[in-house]
Structure 1
Amino acid sequence: MKRYWKTAVLIPFIISCIGVYYIQAASDHDPVYILSTQKGSVEEAAPLSMELYLPKYGRVSVTSEGSRSENELLPWTKDDELYWFDSRLQSLSRVYRAFMRGKRDIRALYQDENRIAYAEIREIGKVEPDYRFTVSVYDKQREASHSFEAAVPQGSQYEYIIPIQVQMDGKTMKVVSRAVKKAKLQSGAVEEIHLFTIDLEQKAVLDDQTIVTSASPDQTSQLYIREITAVNPGEAEHNAVFLMLQSQEGQAGNALEASRSVVSQGLVVYNLWTGQKKVIQDELFSSEIVNGLEYQTVQMKYAKDELLLTVKQSPQELKVIRYSLAEGKVKQTFPVNVASVGDGKEEIRNNRLYILYDKKTGASSSPALNIVELDQGQTVYEGILMEKDDQGMLKQVTYQSSSVNGRINLE
């Protein structure tokens, strides 16, 4: 081994030099951006970054203190640092790197203070495709993980099946999945939402329930299932929430194309642990809201027993609606001023609504961020993207855009 000590010393040195080269090369050419505070305290924006795609410079990650570009990252870390689908996965990957390797769907993940779990559904077989669960659980206290496979009940009857929510309690895992059955002759494909109960000790699926189905009781209409995502996917929730839509026969073949004829059949709230199913009929879920969902002018998310809707009233204003799922009524409504171009991106964390959008500035637009405190219904922070020159002077970044291209990362 003594013969190779020089090689062992040189390899880390060479890697370090390569890293310094890439960082230095980037700092010599890439501009520096910051999220410049226009209203409120800069502390409000401290825990977040904006990951943007700018027409001239590609991907950049921007905070209130500065930025880093795609070029500044080492080649082998780009995939982990910039291309993760969800910032929560990104954060978990940094801490639990070995366990999180290859796990990139936030809908298949669950975590609490004691463990992380991931339930993937894999297709097996080519001639007669079938499906199996691959379940992985990491114990944070013991710093140990285990995994196993379990058959999806009657898996061969599905065209495809994917997990959309995972919950855990003790040794029991609940996996909510969206499935499409193979189409039979003279009938269309049927979409279903299933709830699978998995015993982590027995390493088997104990139960398979169908929560909702698109199967129509008659031939005069088509039913569609709209999944409502959780505010904090991957964290503990006791409900799964869906909006049932209906379009008349003879219209376009899917809900998006037929959005003008789509009407609501009610909001389905299903308690994963008690099996209680509630259908809420409310004029709030009118054709205006339903069509807004299809055209992405309405965003809808839920947390515990509350539904949060943001409705784009005009290019200058959003309407925020807080709806109680337990009481079946609107709790609060208030406007938020955003002079936006196109659609924005929204995140909710710690009772705050974060809105990333392209702010209209004359004939151009600039990436901007608003933070709204939900209980008070007030905007507590407004920021806009600025470029800092070598002398420390700031200038606003403007470009032609129809919608912001980026996302908010909250640590």
Structure 2
Amino acid sequence: MKRYWFSFLFVPLILAGVGSYYIQAAANPLPEFVLQRQSGDSGITSNVVLQGNFGNNPEFTESVSIDAQGSEYRRDTTLFGKLTRSWYVPEMRKLVKDYPGFMRGKLNVRSLYEDEKRLAYVDVNSEGPADSPDYTFDVSVLDKSTKQTVTYKTAVPGGKQYRVLIVHDVQAADENLKVLTANYAAHGEPELHLYTLGLQSGKEPTDQLLTYDVPVPSESEASLQTNYMSDDVKPSPYSLLYVSLSKTVKSGGSYVSEETGGRLLVFNITNGQEVKINSKEIDDLLSGGRSNYMDMMLAGEWLTLVKRTDEGIRTVRYNIKSGQSSGQLFSPVTNPWTIAVKDHFMYVVTGSKPKGDSAPLLTVVDLASGNTVYQGIVGLRENDRHSAEIVNNLNVYGLTFQ
């Protein structure tokens, strides 16, 4: 009996702490915000969640999530919810919810692939000394119809010559998995490789070294950016990478690297051939580098780029198959607080008045047509007893999709 005395003492303390927490929360109710449609199709924002902070002084802020159903503060979120939001990017949260067993321990969104028939995950692991490790692909494939999962390991061809291998993209083609990686040796630029793996164990992986040509201006350097992309696990016949162009400039008493522009690399995921991008609109958008917000999204054969400039938000849509592109300029009410792109829609959160010090306004633009298809403002839920001006203490810093 003596061995349990501490447990008996500890449980009441926990219950007292939890009770005190909820009593305090009830005594200090926070405003209930909601995303209210002003115009357009509310279905476009059915899975949109705004992320922000609420507080009327720097010493008191509460993290809050807001959607069309209402708001949820972090202090009221379950422990599992907090962990899910902390560890998983938005593209993975639905997969964690729908396939919790398969997704256990899988944290790299670029290692994921999903279509109507399957969900796959390919990771790279290593064993042995750091200067000559043994690399293996760890493959998991879930058949959605049978609910059965196939898992296997296979050696990475020629892996010993590299120090680091990074999975950039996983796709499927011809009933095989295609894995695009950036391989780093002890010296020199990274190599791009396209590996072909089987959906089942027993098939030897094949390795294709991808070649590409990036014109580099004089006195500039090119750097492959393998992690600068919007995350997407959907099928695509292409894979996209970004090459940063920079030069060394003097700043104060030292020299720093300054990004001056960029180039896009697009590969056909089936044969590994580079697909040339010929678009003046894209070249103009990439000039100057990423000094302001810039995002790029590849969905099927459509490439979308969005960049915040002094004139407003510039967008370019480019069809890889036809080579046709079109650019547009959007001038929101105030400077954008946050921008997100999904499919062919752009989501922009701003203040709702010219000075920008008022309720957050969400505007959704169809990038294919250039039309505004939705506008909604963050307000108080019906029957909330706080004054309407309290919304001015809300700062929205992000937008995610559930």
TM-score range (shorter-chain normalised) is 0.7 to 0.9
What is the 5 A alignment of 1:8-407?
26=25, 29-54=29-54, 56-80=60-84, 82-128=85-131, 130=133, 131-169=135-173, 171-183=175-187, 189-203=188-202, 205-212=204-211, 221-226=220-225, 233-247=232-246, 257-260=257-260, 262=261, 264=262, 267-286=264-283, 289-292=286-289, 294-314=290-310, 317-330=312-325, 332-341=326-335, 344-349=338-343, 351-357=344-350, 362=355, 364=357, 367-388=360-381, 390-391=384-385, 394-395=388-389, 397-399=391-393, 405-407=397-399
Contact between 1:35 and 1:62, CA under 8 Å: does it hold in 2? yes
Give the partner amino acid of 2:78: L
Q: Which amino acid aligns with 2:377?
A: I
More divergent stretch after superposition (267-276 vs 144-153): 267-276
> Counterpart of 2:376 in structure 1: which amino acid?
G
Amino acid across the alignment from 1:67: S
Q: How many residues align?
A: 378
Residue equivalent to 1:5: none
Give the CA RMSD over aligned residues: 3.7
Q: Residues 165 and 182 of structure 2 are in contact (CA less than 8 Å); yes or no, is this contact kept in structure 1?
A: yes
CA distance in 2, matches of 1:314, 1:387: 33
Q: Give the TM-score normalised by the residue count of structure 2.
A: 0.79
Give, as a single letter, the amino acid of the residue that structure 2 aligns with 1:40: G
**Aligned 8 A contact 2:50 2:400 in 1:** yes
**1:216/1:222 contact within 8 Å kept:** no
Counterparts of 1:335 and 1:127, CA distance in 2: 49
Bigger Cα displacement from structure 2, 191-200 vs 46-55: 46-55
Aligned identity (percent) is 23
User: One-letter code of the match for 2:327?
Assistant: T
**Any conservation in 1 of the 2:124–2:165 contact (CA below 8 Å)?**
yes
Shift of 1:287: 5.9
The answer for the alignment partner of 1:4 in structure 2 is: none
Against the structure 1 CA distance between its residues 324 and 127, is the aligned structure 2 distance closer, same or farther, given a 3 Å change threshold? closer
Per mean C-alpha deviation after superposition, the further-off stretch among 213-222 and 383-392 is 213-222
Distance 1:378 1:127, change over 3 A: closer
CA 246–408 in structure 1, closer or farther in 2 if over 3 Å, else same: closer
Question: CA, structure 1 residues 314+25, in 2 after alignment: closer, same or farther (shift >3 Å)?
Answer: same
CA–CA distance in structure 2, aligned partners of residues 84 and 26 of structure 1: 26
Between the aligned partners of 1:46 and 1:395, the Cα distance in structure 2 is 26
Q: Classify 1:322/1:214 alpha carbon distance in 2 versus 1 (closer, same or farther; 3 Å).
A: closer
**What is the one-letter code of the residue matched to 2:194?**
L
How far 1:21 moved relative to its partner? Answer: 9.3
Between 1:93-102 and 1:166-175, the stretch displaced more is 166-175
User: Is the contact between residue 309 and residue 320 of structure 1 (CA under 8 Å) also seen in structure 2?
Assistant: yes
- Residue-by-residue CA offset, 1:256-282 (whole Å, 9 max, x unaligned): 93213x4x5x54321111333222344
Higher relative contact order (CA 8 A, sep 6+): 2
Alpha-carbon displacement from aligned partner over 1:99-119 (angstroms, at most 9, x marks no partner): 111212221101112211011
Contact 2:350/2:362, CA 8 A, preserved across alignment: yes
- In the alignment, the residues of structure 2 paired with residue 126 and residue 274 of structure 1 have an alpha-carbon distance, to the nearest angstrom, of 34
Cα distance in 2 for partners of 1:104, 1:124 equals 20
Residues 217 and 383 (structure 1), Cα distance of their counterparts in 2 relative to 1, 3 Å cut: closer
- Conserved 8 A contact 2:195-2:208: yes
Q: Which runs of 5+ in 1 are unaligned?
A: 1-14, 184-188
Task: After TM superposition, give the deviation of residue 397 of structure 1 in Å.
Answer: 2.4
Cα–Cα, structure 1 residues 215 and 206, in superposed 2: closer, same or farther, change >3 Å? farther
Structure 2 portions without partners, runs of 5+: 1-13, 251-255
